[in-house]
Amino acid sequence: MSLKSKLHEIKESFKGKKMAPAFNALHTFLYTPNEVTHNGTHIKAVDDLKRTMNTVIIALVPCLIFGIFNAGYQHYLAQGMIEAADGFLGASFWTWDNFEIGAWTILPLVVVSYGVGLLVEFIFAVIKGHEVEEGYLVTGMLVPLIVPVDIPLWMLAVAVVFGVVIGKEVFGGTGMNILNPALTIRAFLFFAYPTWMSGDKVWVHGAVERDQMIAAGQTNLDAISGETILGTYAQNGVTNYDYWDMFWGIIPGSVGETSKFLIIIGAAFLIFSKIGSWRIMLSTVIGALAMGLIFNAVVDAGIITESSKFYGLMDVPFWQHLIIGSILFGAVYMATDPVSAAQTNKGKWIYGFLIGFISIMIRVFNPAYPEGVFLAILLMNVFAPTIDHYVVQGNVKKRMKRLKVKAA
């Protein structure tokens, strides 16, 4: 008996039972179901939600792989064991050693994120008796990419449970949520465990451990400092990284967000495959540049001087805001989440622009939380339905006007 007919039999035996959604979720991963249309359209286009989500995951894989190498690279570099890599193809970057230690740090994050998240999804699907929806496939991939490398796994697990339950399931599951679940998870981590989410110790694998060893009295060790560029600027410091390092991504930061180069490639893939909204991506970038220009103008006008604590970030040339921090990652993979974003095309322009604008504003004005992107996106998630409401009202008004012209 072939695998196909065997699985079909098992599916039939589960029919009507409580565990059916759990089995079906696994089954449909292997085989698209034998479901046929009834009335309505008798044929359907090939795209389904799984394919859509899968496309986003494909676009994220390069970021993940790069993140793995970068975790190892930052670890060894901070310990002074390797030379700094020269550019994207630098010899000391793409090494087996880097990969090994990176994989050992980051793959557990991926496993915990998917394992815990999907478990929650399965439980909800079985309790509520609906099929397991694919929303978490992307969320589960995003979460490990937007956290610091050394985040303890139990914290991640707690945050994932919180994010999936409060961020999504209480609203009715995939398609009904107001906030982006991945960002809800990050926000939870940020506010619940701030020491693990910011500062200069969390971005490089081993830095915290090293600190603890020094505190325990080992004097022959130097502390590892792995401050992000944003952190440096926020303290009016001067960074040692050049623009190309930032662009290629060989800098400390959250796991998957550092390589702007690979993010741009992912964005190109998403736009080409028509899965990601180019309107949101483009307008977010425009919004960020606009805010950057305003700050530059303020500095040029002499309103803010070097003595100000905002000077460091305000003085950053406007275009550099795009290659530091996670603004690009947020614009491409987070802001474009179709459920929590604005849903009308006009609305998407406004929504994206405001995300970019507010991201840079938070980044500059709130040195305690230099990474404002996730807060800006969450804020705009909340306002997206309002934006849509006014856009749709425009169409409604047009229809009303048509009636009035007739009546007059």
Partner 1 sequence: MSKDIRIKKGLDIKLIGEAQHELDQSPMSEYYSVRPEDFHSIIPKLVAREGTTVKAGETLFYNKANESMKFVAPVSGEVVEVERGPKRRIDAIKIKAAATQEHLNHGKFDLGNATAASVKEHLLASGCWPFIKQRPYDVIANPDNTPKAIFVSAYASAPLAADLDFTLAGKESELQAAVTALGMLTEGQLHVSVGKKANSPLAGLNGITLHKVSGPHPSGNVGTQINKIDPVNKGETVWTVAAQDLVIIGELLLTGNFNPQRTIAFVGSGVSKPRYIQTIAGAQVSSFLLKDGVEKGSNQRVISGNVLSGKQINEDGNLDYYSNIVTVIPEGDDYEFFGWNKPVFDKISPSRALTFSWLTPNKKYDLDTNTNGEHRAFVVTGNYENYFPLDMYPMQLLKACMYQDLDEMEALGMYEVAPEDFAITEFMCVSKQPHQKIIREGLDLMLKEIG
Per CB under 8 A, residues contacting partner 1 are 4, 7-8, 28-52, 54-55, 58, 131, 133-135, 172-176, 272-275, 277, 279, 338-339, 341, 343-345, 348, 388, 392, 395-396, 398-400, 402-403, 406
**CA–CA gap between residue 12 and residue 170 (Å, rounded):** 30
DSSP 322: G
Least distance to partner 1, CB of residue 146, Å: 21
Query: Which three-class secondary structure state does DSSP give residue 299?
Result: helix
Least distance to partner 1, CB of residue 2, Å: 10
User: Measured from the CB atom, is 89 or 407 closer to partner 1?
Assistant: 407
Least distance to partner 1, CB of residue 55, Å: 4
User: Measured from the CB atom, is 218 or 395 closer to partner 1?
Assistant: 395
Least distance to partner 1, CB of residue 27, Å: 9
| Cβ–Cβ < 8 Å for 255, 149 | yes
User: Measured from the CB atom, is 48 or 211 closer to partner 1?
Assistant: 48
| Cβ–Cβ < 8 Å for 339, 177 | yes
**CA–CA gap between residue 324 and residue 253 (Å, rounded):** 9
Q: Tokens 């949101």 map to which residue?
A: 280
Least distance to partner 1, CB of residue 284, Å: 16
Q: What is the DSSP string of 325-384?
A: TTHHHIIIIITT-TTTS--SHHHHHHHHHHHHHHHHHHHHH-TTS---HHHHHHHHHHHH
DSSP 321: G
| Cβ–Cβ < 8 Å for 333, 266 | yes
User: Measured from the CB atom, is 260 or 348 closer to partner 1?
Assistant: 348
User: Measured from the CB atom, is 40 or 129 closer to partner 1?
Assistant: 40
User: Measured from the CB atom, is 102 or 163 closer to partner 1?
Assistant: 163
Cα of 5 vs its chain's centroid, Å: 39
| Cβ–Cβ < 8 Å for 258, 251 | yes
User: What does the block give as tokens for 350?
Assistant: 């406004």
User: Measured from the CB atom, is 34 or 219 closer to partner 1?
Assistant: 34
| Cβ–Cβ < 8 Å for 175, 135 | yes
Least distance to partner 1, CB of residue 137, Å: 11
Least distance to partner 1, CB of residue 51, Å: 5
Q: Tokens 């359209």 map to which residue?
A: 41
User: Measured from the CB atom, is 173 or 256 closer to partner 1?
Assistant: 173
Single-letter amino acid, residue 394: G
Least distance to partner 1, CB of residue 126, Å: 16
Q: At what angle do helices 49-78 and 260-272 cross, to 10 degrees?
A: 170
